Chains A and B, each alone.
Chain A
Amino acid sequence: MFEAVAFYLFAFLTIAMFYIVVTTKQALYALTALAAGMIFISAFFFILGAEFLGAIQIIVYTGAVMALYAFGMMFFDTTRDVKEAQGNKFIITGLATLAAVLVVLIVSAPIISENITAYYPALPEVGNTQEVGMVLFTKYLVPFEVAAVMLLVAMIAGIVLAGKKMDLSITLMNDAEIHDMKIDQKLDQHKKVLS
């Protein structure tokens, strides 16, 4: 009973939050709603007994990703109303629904036919985090490492892309050079204004 109540409550909340995300015209609202939605999703993970995943969800999404978005938004003009794509809403909604139904069909088909078996049965005697650790560092070790490298690459890429003049090291420059650079910068800005 508790499970059902919790499911429906969080389901409603998640849907509501995400609905706001895709409909609101205020970027700030969307960000906030998204963050809330992420936390609500982690609730499902806890309900489903995937505590580790739930924790990760909160840390990564609500912590890291949302923070990143928040920082990102500082660059943009978030006060402005967000424009939306023109187009028939019915088509968009229709397409989305159709896709969703088809996904359900495909995913549920083997479940209904009950012909799947567990490759890595969860061990009832150990906790979820422990289990995850065991599987992750044995069977999925290589993907895990790859994912780690990928994150590293993404991090560097993010820094390189967002950062400016990364090829220059201010610590290695003397004052005169830094001064010149600043003048160049101003000139650049000046040019930009003129153009």
Chain B
Amino acid sequence: MVDHILSILIFFPALAGMFGFMINKDSIRAYGVAVGVIEFALSLLLWFWFDGGVAGMQFMEQIPLLPSFGINYILGVDGISLFIIVLSAFITMIGIASLTETPNVKNMIVTLLFLQMTMVGVFSALDGIVFYVFWELSLVPMLYIIGAWGGPLRIYASIKFFLYTFAGSLVMLVGMLFMAYFYYQATGEWSFAILDWYRLILPENLQLWLFLAFFLGFAIKVPMFPFHTWLPYAHGQAPTIGSVILAAILLKMGTYAFIRFSLPMFPDASVALMTPIAIIAIIMIIYTAMVAFAQKDVKQVVAYSSISHMGVIIIGTFALNVEGISGSVFLMIAHGVVSGALFLLVGVIYDRRHTKLMSEFGGLAHVMPRYATIFGLMLMASVGLPLTINFVGEFLSLLGFYQQSHILTLLAGTAIIVGAIYMLAAYKKMFFGDVTKEENKNLPDVNKRELLALIPLSIITIWLGIYPKPVLEPINKSAEAIVQLMHDKSITDEAKMRIPSPLNKAQTSQTSSEGAH
């Protein structure tokens, strides 16, 4: 079981989903929750068995698929993917548990379980083609969720979501094929294994082109400005559960892929394109935060805030040092928890009032104090208050990038200001003031089922904010390995300078810290 835990994690939900068709409609929810819990327990087991002291891949599995073309079914996790897998299992479990009465609840749960398979698949695949397959497969359940259970514009939104991300990933596929071809030219063998690709040292201009090909696919997924417009539509139309998973996990695929592919494979291109990407990220941060401020629909506020936060993640990723990359991975998890919770919270009020317009609310803190408290906590986490989970990630990301550019970090740091502006404005509109609308006077506070979903998220938000070590340590190990790899691989002088080797630094800091103590 230890050897095949990843395959089990991937295919258990899919199998369970297939059996789900046979389950009675009345018991399907319990079944879904049970599968979610088992999957989450399995992911915890993965974490438990995971050796935090090892930087490389663990639980590797390999089954030849098309050996002559180097396409194999290869799985493995390191510190970077481990927690995103755990998170995706967790969020899916929470999502199923908090599912409110929907038409075709059976289809919804089966779809979610399939989505679960693709998500775990993406984060554990170590073969380009397998990765690509899961990457594209993840679009289908999401398309279905938005298109079948969404709002009035759901068809437009779902098709936009699908085609936009699909177009990007096709370019990425071309990049992958090229990569394999270059590997073939260099070694005489075909291989799509990512770990093989890591070993390939490419000339700089080739790196640039390949980087851009991959970039398009990832950037649309993240989504980076100006490729972000599908996201507000998708969030605006998707049902709560769709938004939760989209924001919490699916967006992370893009940033995860940057760390998994772009950085270690093209270190020189990463350095060369660092400034433009950072500028795009800063535009994402400030611009989308301002757009979020202008929104009238609270869900759109959260949706645009996601884009803004993804900008910080990108900044951290392209810090190209251990602090920044650890921070950005941590922020991925943090944002998964917090944005998931925020979307759940929006869903709570939507269930009661069937509107998401902030002008329809006001003074909710009087009628729903518990709801206001949890919302306030998540708001503060989203704003990046210390001792919440987001702060650790944001702090490390910005800290890391500060080494690369002072001015750009200053600009990116405005995230903490503009984030506070739109979030507090939204909170004020919804919760403060007097209860003006008659319909709001008797709204029930959060019920047990909603608390069941929200309280674990709140606990994680605070727990990992105060004590991030269990998560941060394995991430740190793997981030160090990646930075070291990039440092060794880089060919230009600038890249060598920009990417500090953690090995050397660790030694020097050890001596200096010894001196300090």
Complex A–B touching at CB under 8 A: no
B residues neighboring A (CB under 8 Å): none
